[in-house]
A and B are shown apart, each in its own frame.
Chain A
Amino acid sequence: MSILTERRTYVAGEWVIGDQVIAVENPADETHVADVSATPVAEVERAILAARTAFDDGVWAQRAPRDRAQVLHTLIDHLETNHETLVDTLVAEAGQPAQFADQTQCRTGISIARQTIDLYLSMRHEEATPVPVDDLTRGRVALSILRHEPVGVVTAITPYNAALIMALQKLIPALMAGNSVILRPSPLTPLSSLIFGHAADAAGLPAGVLSVVAEEGTEGAQLLTTHPAVDMVSFTGSTVAGRNIIAQAAPTVKRLSLELGGKSAQIYLPTPSHVSASARWASWHAPQDRHASPRHACSSRRSTKRRYSNALPPRTTRSKWGPPPIRPH
């Protein structure tokens, strides 16, 4: 088992050490995993300003989409090269099953990231829009072009349950579109996200285009949701935190992308196809997944109810729990 050795955070192309540390604990056995150096608030602001400068100077946004795609593929290559370290780090910081870290977070995350790049390249960057015939005939307007431009400075605040895949699905579309991004992982799982700093270095991403900050509290996060130089906040977390972010982003009218709480229902029709699927899904990663559905509605018809109630408890009582076994890579 070898976890990521980086303990500093990544601000505007430099590795930064602060005065305070975030003690990362493994929830599986309460052992101390690592002390990650917290990013001082002044450094968080420097990350924002560097992101702004990088965006306004066009060092990333003005490059051809194909060039950006190539750089981002190299960035993702770095994650793939460090696959085993990444899985071990995710298991250690979140106490999650190795299979979840390996398959869902790393493999699916990376595949989604690469496909997102292709998807972006298939999209139009400029397109003609119809000129109303009145404007056309009056000779006022001859041509109307819709140009798609990056939003600017995007801050990405990710949760503890799936730090890597959430970061990928926020960073890649944002960077691909030409934005500058500041990633702020959950204080509970800050370690795995530091790999993005090394990946940015390896890919030769211009300084300031991607920064990774970490902190114990929320002072830095509040700067990321309120600073006038920030154009957009992308957040995954609770609805309570989401409401606060809406309020914080309101004075400067930031664009928001919020993936918040859920209480998703699973409906079992009177002739269910495979009852056990839900129990298995429900026990995946100790349901710290909003899409794992904690409300089950089953038919009150006697036969189905009996089958259902027979199916669930044994399935759950058969589940084993304990520290995630380390899977041989």
Chain B
Amino acid sequence: MGPVISAAQRSKCERFVQLAEQQGAKVRAGGKRPEGLDRGYYFEPTVLDLPNNANPAAQEEIFGPVLGVIGYRDVDDAVRIANDSVYGLSGQVYGADTAAAVAVARRIRSGAVNVNTTVFSALAPSGGYKQSGLGRERGPEASANSRKSSTCRLESSHHDRIERHHEPQPGLARLGRRPHPRTAQPVVDRVAKKDRDRAPHMIKDDKTGMDVWVYDGKKFPSSG
């Protein structure tokens, strides 16, 4: 195992071991700087037996090789301990019965839960619940988060123009002929006009002066 990043980070490990011990934790392994290494910011891999999840070593991120072990009564208690945190970045469940382990994993409130393994993939997003963050790294979420969406609505007159522009003329295309402008135009117009008449549209009723829908040759009162 290598060093932690800096002297400050090593001090943090030491401070947390001390704090944990003050609140009832027992050091089962490590807990100090390794002997015989004068240069470099090393800290022995440390295992703390923690009396409960309220211990500082269970609640705060140490970012070093300090690991706390907490006993649980039953699975509900284990889930309660796991979720009793302001953080929710990741988590792991180990168990011989994969189905049971997955059932526990689904109850963990975090951005990822690994069952009997760990995963790091371009397709699997990662990120935090609670105070572990906003947004996601990797996966479709990260790509989507690099973009913003803009809705563009086109009014019907523009739509007509687009439709006319793109109107295919299968008959002419099949013959491999370019449509002559004079003959092509009426064909397209007729289609567009027919569609326009068929589509529901609103007119002002001459008698009542109210807006009414015209659809399929019949008039319907407007709901407003």
Contacts and interface: CB of A to CB of B under 8 A. Distances in A.
Interface stretch (A71-79, A80-88, A92-100): A92-100
Contact of B71 (A131, A147, A299): A299
A171 B68 CA distance: 35
Contacts of A277: 94, 116
A316 B155 contact: no
Contacts of B69: 296-298, 308-309, 312
A239 B132 contact: yes
Given A143-B159, A294-B62, A242 B133 contact: yes
Interface string A130-166: 0100001111111111111111001000001100000
Contact of A177 (B78, B139, B146): B146
B5 A161 contact: yes
Interface in A284-329: 285-288, 290-291, 293-300, 305, 308-309, 312-313, 316-317, 319-324
B26 to A, nearest CB: 11
Contact of B151 (A142, A145, A234, A259): A145
A131 B199 CA distance: 15
A147 B100 CA distance: 43
For the residues of B in contact with A, the DSSP-based class is: mixed
B194 interface: no
Interface residues of A, number: 110
Contacts of B81: 265, 295, 297
Interface stretch (B33-41, B167-175, B185-193): B33-41
A277 B101 CA distance: 15
Nearest to A25: B6
Nearest to B139: A119
Contact of A269 (B6, B94, B145): B94
A15 interface: no
A170 interface: yes
A176 B146 contact: yes
A298 to B, nearest CB: 6
A206 interface: no
B1 A176 contact: no
Contact of A142 (B41, B90, B158): B158
A281 B153 contact: no
Interface residues of B, number: 108
Interface in B193-221: 199-202, 213, 215
B94 A275 contact: yes
A268 B115 CA distance: 10
Contacts, number: 366
Contacts of B121: 112, 115
A273 interface: yes
A53 interface: no
Nearest to A138: B202
A312 B29 contact: yes
Contact of A119 (B49, B97, B122, B132): B122
Contact of B143 (A177, A234, A263, A285): A177
Contacts of A138: 202
25 contacts: A27-B6, A112-B138, A143-B159, A143-B162, A144-B151, A147-B152, A149-B149, A188-B5, A257-B127, A258-B133, A260-B87, A260-B133, A263-B61, A267-B92, A270-B95, A273-B94, A277-B116, A283-B45, A290-B61, A293-B91, A294-B61, A298-B72, A309-B49, A312-B47, A322-B40
Interface of B: 1-6, 9, 28-30, 34, 37, 39-47, 49, 53, 57-73, 75, 78-79, 81-82, 85-97, 100-101, 104, 108, 110, 112, 116, 118, 120-123, 126-128, 131-140, 142-156, 158-160, 162, 199-202, 213, 215
Given A119-B123, A261-B61, A296-B68, 7 more contacts: A26-B40, A112-B121, A258-B133, A266-B94, A282-B67, A313-B47, A322-B2
